[in-house]
Chain A
């Protein structure tokens, strides 16, 4: 344990300006967390799945900004890529697949009312403003005091946590097989019935 702590110490960035940085990062953090909580409340209270997904994407991006204020830019990038990118897109695909039929066109017109973009738009504009602030004040604020760099994460992942990586790959393979099996449609059921007969 002691050896690992000494190993990861050089990756911590500790030279940054406390007086200005502290206040700015605090403001950014509280704004981002306010946006996160508000958009989460709106996401779980919407009646329409697509509107809820819009608010959920905003919530995930706000949490990514919270990661950035905590000095975790790598985690923030992963949050945007995998949560706000892959997972929300998967959910949107399923919502769209489940809405077939003649009523789809009317529903689609109902969903794409311009008024519905205003709420997520305003919230994500706040986030964009915070991001621009972070980028333009980088020397003063930095990416927070103790940024953990991707190199350190990679060294830990493939060093002491290699067994965890193996288990995660096993989990992903199991998820892949399960999703393929469950999403295969009606054919396996028919063949099963035939074999039973």
Chain B
């Protein structure tokens, strides 16, 4: 085993961060906080890929991390545009205000 730090610990950290992000998405009702929690979850997924890639000494982990990074950037751009549009429509950032399909 060549790894410096046991990969289980890194995976555990990724799980912990993912669960924290999930808690944030489920608990908070402010759209900005939900987007932030989504970013934390995506970041935790990227961390899991990097840890796995380091454990096997392969570059695939980095490749997947780059794809996750791209996806997170696109997601936050579209999400924030939607947040701005929702604020113009409802004058609030509460997601429950936008729970009806017909605005």
Contacts and interface: CB of A to CB of B under 8 A. Distances in A.
Interface string A42-65: 011000010011001001100100
Taking each of A33, A69, A144, A171, which has the highest tally of chain B beta carbons within 10 Å of its own beta carbon?
A33
A95 B61 CA distance: 33
Contact of A172 (B21, B35, B73, B88): B73
B54 A36 contact: no
Q: Give the residue among B9, B30, B39, B87 with the most A Cβ atoms within 10 A.
A: B39
A156 interface: yes
A82 B58 contact: no
Given A44-B40, A146-B54, A49 B30 contact: yes
A180 B25 CA distance: 26
B50 A70 contact: yes
A36 B23 CA distance: 16
Interface residues of B, number: 59
A82 B42 CA distance: 13
Chain A interface category by residue count: 35 or more
A111 interface: no
Contacts of B43: 60, 63, 79, 83
Contact of B57 (A12, A22, A168, A182): A12
Contacts of A52: 33, 36
Interface of A: 5, 8-9, 11-12, 14, 21-22, 25-26, 29-30, 33, 36-37, 40-41, 43-44, 49, 52-53, 56, 59-60, 63, 66-67, 69-72, 74-75, 78-79, 82-83, 86-87, 90-91, 93-95, 97-98, 144-146, 148, 152-153, 155-157, 161, 164, 168, 171-172, 174-176, 178-179, 182-183, 186
The 10 nearest A-B residue pairs measured at CB: A175-B74, A44-B24, A182-B81, A70-B54, A179-B81, A168-B70, A156-B59, A183-B81, A153-B62, A179-B77
